Structure 1
Amino acid sequence: MAPSRKIPGGSGRIPTITPERLARGWSGPNGTKIRTLADGEADRWLELLELAGVEHEDVLLSALRGGALGWLLPLGLSAGRKAMKHRFLETVLERTEEAAAHAMAGLSVPLIVQDRDGHLIGALNAVSLPPPVVASAADRGVPFEVMIEALTTVVKIRAVAVDEQARGQGIGSALLTRCLQVYFQLGFHLAYGHFRAGSGLEVFYSGCGFDVLAEQSVLDFGVYLGLPFRLLPEEGERIFACVSER
């Protein structure tokens, strides 16, 4: 089954997003606001992500503390995908681990949800193709230019988390909608993620409009994007995915 060609939780139409709007945010359920992370909110964002069982990688923490998460997104939203991709490539071509990590961090969106009383109650982290997928492709001799295209075309929903006291209000699905609106405007075409089978999250993601693959089903990027990448979940995991109409 092919992933759905729509924005989960949305009407299917992708509104134009500006860097200012991304920082200012959107209205969410029950008077909440969904926006990118602001100064001083990193610890709470990480605390919320822990609810989703996410381990904090050193690269993520370094980029977060240095304010590098999402640094390429405003460029893409204001100047377009071509400018964003060119700057990403320039950074990668510096050929150092630090430059590569900085480039990857630039494509990562950190979203936070603030309630009407100012409390931070939800978080989302999305990233470009994870390093193991990239390394596997490199080992198979995938051309560099194809790797760059994949890194700026596929996004992984790494974690969605909502404070226990705020669940059941549609905050998680609203986070997913805003995240995909950003990435699809930037020219990304495939969004995916995975979760533990039996956790009940298949109901959540399918209810949000994603297609949930059966256990051990392979997500073949070639089928949807013509890219030579395949993702096989670990034992006991299931993949959810959707494809942009653009």
Structure 2
Amino acid sequence: MVANRRGKARRREPVRHSIPESRLRADHSVNRTVTAQALIDGWAIPGSHVRVRLARPVDLAALRTFAEMAGTRVEDEVADAIDAGIAGAGLIIGMRDGHETFLSHVAEQFFTHQDTGRQVAFLHLTLALVAEDPGRGIVGALLAYPPVGVIGQFLAQAHRIGVNPQQLLVTGAIGLVRVKALAVAEPMRRQGLAAALMECCRQVYATCKYLMLYGQMPARPGLADFYRSLGFTVLQKREGFDPWVIFGVHSQILPESDERMFLWDRPMTHRIQRHR
């Protein structure tokens, strides 16, 4: 898996014998750090031909299929943003130009679209990833973005709790993100592709200094161990968490039905407060 390989690479000795063609085709020199350019061109998975990259308009049909496999759908607004080339634009800027430029870009988007629809700003922070195999095409996908519904609930209470709505809106958009869908084609499972998609997602939002990343999963055998292996905390059924470190007020985010939540909170922040 990608997530836990953080040690230094071993120094290679000069090759003194022939190398099998399969090894020559594989990219074993991959940089495990996700960069803005790698996100566009394709981030190579160690020991694999598969690359993870931003979804393009041509990938929309496949992205919809994998979202359905994950039990959800690609919203029309997200599809339009991918088609227009603005999905993830703010994240690319944050990874390439630094956090201050990222904050300026997000603030500009909210200001520019304050009358015509703040949804555009959230689309700039939406991450739609696909895993592409040279021979098979798209073999996996991930969709993540700041949870508009959750942030909207805090906005509805802004005046009551004495918080500036605009400030709360931006704070939520740049601090909290939800993994909405993750799926891999059946023939390609158990090869580290899901782990690579999640690690790429985590790195992107961590680079942009998001404080919390979370998602929900069905109570299926093996899933809890999978997310724990990637460094996520897995909560119990009906257990939620309090994102007060982001919004400055206490509330709670709870899972739906009998699903369980997994979450990652940025190191050095206050510990999350959980709720049952």
Compute the TM-score of the two structures, normalised by the length of structure 2.
Answer: 0.77
Tell me how far 1:17 sits from its aligned partner.
4.5
CA change 1:51–1:12 in 2 (3 A) is farther
Check whether the contact 1:16–1:185 (CA below 8 A) recurs between aligned residues.
Answer: no
State the secondary structure of the residue aligned to 2:264. Answer: strand
| 2:14 corresponds to | none
Check whether the contact 1:192–1:242 (CA below 8 A) recurs between aligned residues.
Answer: yes
The residue type equivalent to 2:189 in the other structure is: R
| 2:217 corresponds to | 195
The residue type equivalent to 1:215 in the other structure is: K
Which of 108, 111, 114 pairs up with 1:95?
114
| 2:227 corresponds to | 205
| C-alpha separation in 2, matches of 1:11 and 1:226 | 32
Q: Quote the RMSD (CA, aligned, Å).
A: 2.5
Check whether the contact 2:168–2:247 (CA below 8 A) recurs between aligned residues.
Answer: no
- Taking CA–CA contacts closer than 8 Å with sequence separation of 6 or more, which of the two structures ends up with the larger relative contact order? 1
| 1:3 corresponds to | none
2:41 matches 1:32: no
Which of 6, 13, 20 pairs up with 1:11?
6
| C-alpha separation in 2, matches of 1:113 and 1:147 | 32
Check whether the contact 1:219–1:231 (CA below 8 A) recurs between aligned residues.
Answer: yes
The residue type equivalent to 1:190 in the other structure is: M
| C-alpha separation in 2, matches of 1:150 and 1:12 | 33
| C-alpha separation in 2, matches of 1:207 and 1:77 | 25
CA change 1:125–1:132 in 2 (3 A) is same
2:245 matches 1:227: no
Tell me how far 1:227 sits from its aligned partner.
3.4
Identical aligned pairs, as a percentage?
A: 26
Tell me how far 1:71 sits from its aligned partner.
1.5
Tell me how far 1:120 sits from its aligned partner.
1.0
| 1:46 corresponds to | 64
| C-alpha separation in 1, matches of 2:86 and 2:41 | 18
Gaps of 5+ in 1: 1-6
2:139 matches 1:121: yes
Tell me how far 1:15 sits from its aligned partner.
7.0
Structure number with greater Rg is 2
Tell me how far 1:10 sits from its aligned partner.
4.5
Say which is worse superposed, 102-111 or 193-202, in terms of deviation. 193-202
1:208-230 alpha-carbon deviations (Å, 9 max, x no partner): 321110111121112x5573352
2:267 matches 1:240: no
The residue type equivalent to 1:46 in the other structure is: R
| 2:239 corresponds to | 217
**Equivalences for residues 65-76 of structure 1 within 5 A:** 65-76=83-94
| Runs of at least 4 residues off by over 3 Å | 7-10, 12-18, 224-227
**Number of residue equivalences:** 237
Which of 202, 219, 224 pairs up with 1:180?
202
The residue type equivalent to 2:153 in the other structure is: S
State the secondary structure of the residue aligned to 1:31. Answer: coil
Say which is worse superposed, 13-22 or 84-93, in terms of deviation. 13-22
| C-alpha separation in 1, matches of 2:64 and 2:221 | 22
| C-alpha separation in 2, matches of 1:22 and 1:146 | 29
Tell me how far 1:97 sits from its aligned partner.
4.7
| 1:4 corresponds to | none
1:176-200 alpha-carbon deviations (Å, 9 max, x no partner): 1111111111111211101223465
CA change 1:156–1:97 in 2 (3 A) is farther
| C-alpha separation in 1, matches of 2:122 and 2:221 | 30
